[in-house]
Chains A and B, each alone.
Chain A
Amino acid sequence: MDLIFAAVVVLSASSLGIPLFQVAAKKEKRWISGYVLVVALLSALAIVAFNSVAPQSDPAFKNLLISDSLGNFFAIVTVSVALFVAVASLEAIRKSDNAPIYYGLLSFTALGMLLLSFTQDLLMLFVSWELMSLPTYVLAGFDKKRVQSNEASVKYAILGAMSSAILLYAISLTYGLTGTTQIIPAVRAIAAQPFSLATSIAILLFVAGFGFKMSIVPFHMWIPDAYEGAPTTVSTLLAAATKKAGFVAAIRVLLAVTTVYVITQNPIFTMANILAVLALLTMTLGNAAALTQRSMTRLLAYSSIAQAGYILVGFVAYAYGLQTNAYSQQTNAYFIEATIGMTGALFHILNHAIMKGAAFLVAALVLLELKRGDVQAYNGLGRRMPLAAFTMTVAFLALAGVPPLNGFWSKLLLFLSVINGPFAWLAVAGIVNSAFSLGYYAWVIKRIYIDESESNEKIKEPIPFIVVFGVAVGLMIGLGLFPQQVINFASSAVPNIFPR
């Protein structure tokens, strides 16, 4: 039984079936579509989880998809976030007449992310990339009567289309250079080639195309506007899920290719160096900009950019490990720093999905109940919405890397991986950034629990949100106390990046 194919079938069926509620069901019955999607996502998640426990070797489309730990890891992360968003949306868009369309688009995005996680072919990668992206352009504009939502949608769609074009150009160059669209053979072919301008251009185009989704400086400009303008549940999806899909694509394509290839004839332009500079820029700019924000979703957007910078630190450690040819044939083990760094990056990707997903959903609930998105609205939230306030606090502490929460462990691994090499400055920059980021996280926590609010009226917190908050807080604390299993799972995915 091919499990990945089964998951794809489940999500394809829900993607095609859910929109039918729009025409077939009466207005007051359309909410059912949300529950259908929740069930579909749960079953897809169960299938993928089973696949990671008892891996099935070859999927049906053998040359397109690969069943490995890396794919399982990302599929679990992205589908879980889609599930969170779907559950929270049960409340958030309860009153909308177009709910089936919303859930249908969400389902398509989930399908795209699932396929992208397991892809091992560049064309398949592009198809699933588009399958994931196109619905989110529409979702960003789902509040069609709100100007900001329309603006976010248009801006996101134009820049998204551009990044897709860049990506497609990179893929076509790669095909021209290597004669194959299979990722691993293409990687090997490129690695074997001497320096050529076309290869360098292809690689840089990949960086730009993926960097757009990964929210890496200087490809981050669309992020704050899109996250702020889009319905906040959709922003959750963008920040916590589609962004992660950008990372899996980058890991599968970029990291393996480029670490052994120097971009110019000048040896200083190794991939590790380029990534290190991007990491520094991304985390510093993200944190500095977040500090001055007055709108919660913009603050979260910039914080999300900063977190992408931390994840890149792990990429640097991995790239440097491969570049120094540290793979040991005898022990069949990677250079320890490369393993630590990549494991940290993968773990941080998972953690960021949980932490940022939880924080965005709190913002969504506050926006829904108070009709306000500025940070002032959070004053005294601890008394008005205790569960949401507690979730936000735990998420922010985890984002800042305060132990014993999950974000602490992944940052620990990330900084540990570079502290003893030539990139020690990156660890220092990361730690200083972490400390600095508490400036705005603690500032919001102070508002939640210490500042006085304008009104002390209690606000009822809807059940779907409470469920999601409970799961998220449980994961943040649980993974913080017992991180071993997940770190192990993440590390098992590392050898899949560049199989020997």
Chain B
Amino acid sequence: MSFVLSLLILVPLVGAPVSYLAIRVNKRFGMLLTLAISAVAFAIASYSFWFLSANLPAPGQYVMSEKYIWINLSFISLDYLLGLDGLSAPLVVVSTLLVLLAIIGSRSQIGHHEAEYYALILLFEGSIVGVFTSLNLIFFYIFWELVLIPMFFLIGIWGGPRRKYAALKFILFTYGGSTIMLLGFLAVYLGTSVPTFDIPDLAGKIPPGLQYLPLLATFIGFGVKLPIVPFHTWLPDAHVEAPAPVSVLLAGVLLKMGGYGFIRISLGLFPQASIQYAWAFMLVGVVTMFYGAIVATLAKDLKRMIALTSINHMGFVLLGAYSTASSGSPLGVQGAIFQMFNHALAIGSLFMLSGYIHEQAGTREIPLLKGLRISMPRTATLLMLSSLAAMGFPIYSSFVSEFMVIAASISAYSPYAVTVLVPALTGAYFMWMLRRTVLSAPTGSVVVKDSSRLDSAALFAYLVPLFILLIFPYVILDPAAPVSQYILHLRGG
């Protein structure tokens, strides 16, 4: 039995108290140690991704599975069950990468209570890896909730002026959504012939009649996280108030939990009900995409604009996933997985940049930021490059994933061709933002410092994979193919 995934969860979880103590003793050494811990986690994640690519499992199978019995009584049994497939592996890699980059970026952004801060970041990392790798519903739920606790404190303690409100709103929304999701999990336990919470054993065995209410319950739980339109109001507050590196983790990693849940659980466990209501999910996805794009256009605060772009981009994930359920085109799920990976990197660099700009220029108001190309040339260049990534410009892989999702949605129902307007809108408001901030004439003689070379290099690291993946998209798409096929198999096609 493999132990790599357990190790991947335990390294950050055990690392959290270790780095807390180390920073209390010696700040510099402790922060380097934190960096080392997250680098080790990233290395293990990369190894497991490589292992998966080398040993692609059949649809519905997982590699590096680990199973231990946790609770085994006559009336309830629970397993510690981990596994990796083409859906979870890209998310695990990108999560650990973003944590590593966020830790590098925190150096200049976080000025007090460093020990607690870095310990909470590592706690978050361990929990998020647990979410993406656990294959037992209750085990999954435990990590799912565990993610909230460090996030609540990270927003509440190190956030901006309205941080208290944002932290409370964040935890109430997401906890409310996830408890309802738990009801859906509980409902399937006694409904199948052999009571179990293991996802591989449940897939395809839940009677169709029992799928509708759990589907609704999980829709609410994952929908709050993704977020979809009626449940999105926590997102702008949380993302704007959180410090920049935490916003990176919120948008880059936490939102992916929703997309992951939709594909792994909503589609994977309730396929019949999903197909029947795929139109509703797709409609919600399209509404979310347009809503996010329109409100982002109107946003005056740079960070708020970036936060709202996430809503727009995560709509693609929902649309793609359910396009596959509806049309049988494998592009949808593959595109959704790819989109999650790309969005994480693009949005990560944008949030870090907004943090630097705010720190140096003293404001994030787009109309007040003038002539960044003169005052902060490195930052301005990176802002342009990252904006292109978020727009889905065809020098980055985000173009491929958005293209795949739109193609899949058209094959489901041709009027969804209207979704091509979303990248156009996104492009428009990013261009407008760049014109106002980067390309405008500088005002006054405010002396601002550019971001340092190290920070610029770290920011560039967000964009390199996107560029490489445009040329080699199969690195992500090949492992994702069996996931897509499995959804099609469950769908009965």
Contacts and interface: CB of A to CB of B under 8 A. Distances in A.
Residue with the highest number of chain B CB atoms closer than 10 Å, among A428, A434, A446: A446
Most A-side CB within 10 Å, residue of B72, B75, B168, B187: B75
B73 A488 contact: yes
Interface in A369-398: 397
A435 B180 contact: yes
A404 B124 CA distance: 14
A408 B148 CA distance: 15
B149 A402 contact: yes
B394 interface: no
A403 B145 contact: yes
A431 B73 contact: no
Given A403-B146, A449-B153, A419 B186 contact: yes
Interface in A323-366: 333, 336-337, 339-340, 343
A450 B157 CA distance: 5
Given A337-B190, A404-B142, A446-B164, A487 B76 contact: yes
A451 interface: yes
A484 B71 CA distance: 5
Contacts of A420: 187, 190-191
Contacts of A45: none
Given A403-B141, A449-B156, A483-B71, A340 B76 contact: yes
Given A397-B149, A415-B183, A435-B176, A333 B171 contact: no
Contacts of B141: 403
Contacts of A443: 168
A400 B149 CA distance: 13
A218 interface: no
B167 A446 contact: yes
Contact of A451 (B142, B164, B171): B164
B362 to A, nearest CB: 24
A238 interface: no
Contact of B179 (A435, A442, A446, A484): A435
A305 to B, nearest CB: 20
Contacts of A450: 153, 156-157, 163-164, 167
A160 to B, nearest CB: 36
Contact of B190 (A343, A404, A416): A416
Contact of A484 (B72, B176, B186): B72
B74 A333 contact: yes
Nearest to B141: A403
A419 B187 contact: yes
Nearest to A436: B176
B210 to A, nearest CB: 9
Interface in B135-182: 138, 141-142, 145-146, 148-149, 152-153, 156-157, 163-164, 167-168, 171-172, 175-176, 179-180, 182
A484 B68 CA distance: 14
A340 B176 CA distance: 24
A431 B156 contact: no
A427 B172 CA distance: 19
Interface in A435-480: 435-436, 438-439, 442-443, 445-446, 449-451
Interface size class of B (residues with CB under 8 A): 35 or more
A153 interface: no
A237 B183 CA distance: 33
B277 interface: no
A285 interface: no
Interface class of chain B by DSSP: helix
Contact of A446 (B75, B149, B168, B187): B168
A446 B183 contact: no
A492 B492 CA distance: 44
Interface string A127-145: 0000000000000000000
A404 B191 CA distance: 25
A487 B149 contact: no
Contact of A415 (B76, B156, B186): B186
A484 B74 CA distance: 11
B273 to A, nearest CB: 17
Contact of B186 (A403, A416, A438, A488): A416
B178 to A, nearest CB: 8
Interface string A276-294: 0000000000000000000
A437 to B, nearest CB: 10
Given A420-B190, A484-B73, A402 B145 contact: yes
B432 interface: no
B138 A431 contact: no
Contacts of A49: none
Contacts of B70: 484
Contacts of B146: 403-404
A262 interface: no
Contacts of B167: 446, 450
A210 to B, nearest CB: 26
A427 B186 CA distance: 10
A451 B72 CA distance: 43
Contact of A412 (B163, B172, B186): B186
Given A403-B142, A404-B146, A438 B183 contact: no
Contacts of B186: 412, 415-416, 419, 427
A416 B168 CA distance: 28
A304 interface: no
Nearest to B184: A419
Contact of A434 (B149, B156, B179, B187): B179
B279 interface: no
A491 interface: yes
A439 B149 contact: no
A413 interface: yes
B190 A431 contact: no
Given A402-B145, A420-B190, A483-B71, A449 B183 contact: no
A340 B73 CA distance: 11
A404 B78 CA distance: 14
Contacts of A428: 183
A443 B168 CA distance: 7
B183 A427 contact: yes
Instruction: Pick from B146, B148, B149, B175 the residue with the most CB of A within 10 Å.
Output: B175
A484 B75 CA distance: 12
B225 to A, nearest CB: 14
A424 B213 CA distance: 11
B189 interface: yes
A138 B178 CA distance: 45
A449 B113 CA distance: 12
A340 to B, nearest CB: 5
Interface string B64-94: 0000001111111000000000000000000
B75 A343 contact: yes
Contacts of A333: 74
A340 B186 CA distance: 12
A404 B9 CA distance: 15
Given A412-B138, A415-B186, A442-B152, A431 B75 contact: no
Contacts of A401: 179
A427 B73 CA distance: 22
A438 B171 contact: yes
A412 B187 CA distance: 11
A488 B74 CA distance: 9
Contacts of A445: 152
Interface of B: 70-76, 138, 141-142, 145-146, 148-149, 152-153, 156-157, 163-164, 167-168, 171-172, 175-176, 179-180, 182-183, 186-187, 189-191
Given A343-B75, A424-B187, A427-B183, 4 more contacts: A402-B149, A408-B142, A408-B145, A412-B182
25 contacts: A333-B74, A336-B75, A336-B190, A339-B74, A340-B76, A343-B75, A403-B142, A403-B146, A404-B142, A408-B145, A412-B186, A415-B183, A416-B190, A419-B187, A424-B187, A427-B183, A431-B182, A432-B179, A432-B180, A435-B180, A442-B168, A442-B171, A446-B167, A449-B156, A451-B164
> Which 9 A-B pairs have CB atoms at the shortest separation, nearest pair first?
A403-B142, A435-B176, A450-B156, A435-B179, A484-B71, A431-B179, A419-B186, A416-B186, A420-B190
